[in-house]
Amino acid sequence: MPPYPNTSGTDGRGRTFGVEEELLLVDAETLECAAVSRDVVRDHDRHPADSGHRITTELQQEQIEVAGPPVQGLAEQLAAIRQGRALLDAAARRAGARAVALASPVFPARPHLVPQPRYEWLRERYGLVVDEQLTCGLHVHVGISDPDEGVAVLDRIRGWLPVLLALSVNSPFWYGRDTGFGSHRYQTWSRWPTAGPDELLGTVQEYDRRCAALLRSGVALDRGMLYFDARLSARYPTVEIRVADVCLEAEHAAVLAVLTRALVETAAAQWRAGDPAPPTGVRQLRAWSWQASASGVDGALVSPVSGAAAPAAGVVAELLTHVRPALEEQGEQESVAGTVAGLLRGGSGARRQREAWAARQDPRDVVRAALEATHR
């Protein structure tokens, strides 16, 4: 993947940002999970694209990741996400499967681990946590100038990450049953010992010290296993925000990525201005994320401004107000606000999945509707 230069404040174009989407693979006929990720990756390697997209396997053979190139704006990001999904689906079709933007399996399934030493170690170490780990997230990389700016950003975006999660919820079903959550993926993912929100860091040295302590404990195999909701990337000069479900609609994924970049830009500006990071505790953040995972935008969320429960639409409006200067600087305020308003009216992926389920309680209806939305 190309580098992520931080051009903010130097040429008016803003920070580059890129998206990694994990998708489920389903049989093209039965629509049940299909363990074909290695076939799909091999096929893509035989038909490489010149767009900068990468397709790679993940933990289970029923899931796969497509990573897009760094881009500058909303229109570019939407095009990159659509192209990545199309490339992935084309390779999946040649393996008798389809790629669908579901963050958890609708059908009962038994995942098949990708046969790699690292994953075998994880299964031996974590047992059922690995066997049941078939979830798909959306990871957004945003360019930073240096690690000092990155840590300052991580400290200042913590309270807003549950709102991003709420906007993305797309995993109400789990192996054939409705879980009662908008994002059961987040609940499942939180079983990893290193997952979730982090404490205030303050300095790069403190970030490195905490990472080293986790690695020294043996609880995490390597830095790739430090599954914080947001972290410094180990591979690129970026902050990597990992809190969201993969979104059903490409438009929602692109807008979520733009909101994430705007959060980073806003936090960096606060740091440059000397504004302190909010001292919200990890226990509070876990509770806020739990609430976001439970109800998405269909109930109450916790406001990072007041710390109190409030209607989701009001908390989302607070987020848009918080990042408005960054969005306006890029000329994206109107487009983002319009898409978010449509999401609040029409519902997240979780609501859309439940609507597809309601008529016949048939998982095939859910997957068919999700395939249509994924590749609309």
Q: Report the distance separating Cα 105 and Cα 278, nearest Å.
A: 37
Mean pLDDT, 10 residues at a time, the chain of 376 residues: 40 78 98 97 86 93 97 96 96 96 94 94 93 96 97 98 98 95 97 94 96 92 92 95 98 98 98 96 97 96 96 98 96 96 94 95 96 95
Which domains, ranges and CATH numbers included, belong to the chain?
A: 17-374 (3.30.590.20)
Q: State residue 221's pLDDT score.
A: 84
Six token digits for residue 15? 């920070």
Six token digits for residue 195? 């997952």
- Residues in contact with 59: Cβ distance below 8 Å, sequence separation at least 6, in sequence order: 113, 114, 119, 122, 130, 133, 134
Contact 326, 266 (CB under 8 A): yes
DSSP 248: S
- Residues in contact with 244: Cβ distance below 8 Å, sequence separation at least 6, in sequence order: 137, 138, 140, 164, 165, 167, 168, 256
Q: For residue 171, which of 136, 208, 123 has the smallest C-alpha distance?
A: 136
Buried-state track 28-42, b at ≥16 Cβ within 10 A, e below 16:
eeebbbbbbbebbbe
Q: State residue 52's pLDDT score.
A: 87
Q: State residue 7's pLDDT score.
A: 37
Rg for the chain, CA atoms, rounded: 19
Q: State residue 11's pLDDT score.
A: 37
- Residues in contact with 306: Cβ distance below 8 Å, sequence separation at least 6, in sequence order: none
Buried-state track 305-341, b at ≥16 Cβ within 10 A, e below 16:
eeeeeeebeebbbbbbebbeebbebbebbebbeebbe
Handedness of CA 100, 105, 110, 112 (dihedral sign): positive
- Residues in contact with 340: Cβ distance below 8 Å, sequence separation at least 6, in sequence order: 167, 255, 316, 320
Ramachandran quadrant class, 138 (left: phi over 0; alpha: psi -120 to 50; beta: rest): beta
Q: State residue 289's pLDDT score.
A: 98
Handedness of CA 259, 264, 270, 272 (dihedral sign): negative
The residue whose two tokens read 């390697």 is 45
Q: State residue 2's pLDDT score.
A: 41
Q: State residue 13's pLDDT score.
A: 57
Contact 173, 209 (CB under 8 A): no
Contact 265, 6 (CB under 8 A): no
Single pTM value for the model? 0.95
Determine the residue type at 96.
Answer: G
Q: For residue 18, which of 228, 316, 241 has the smallest C-alpha distance?
A: 241
Contact 314, 303 (CB under 8 A): yes
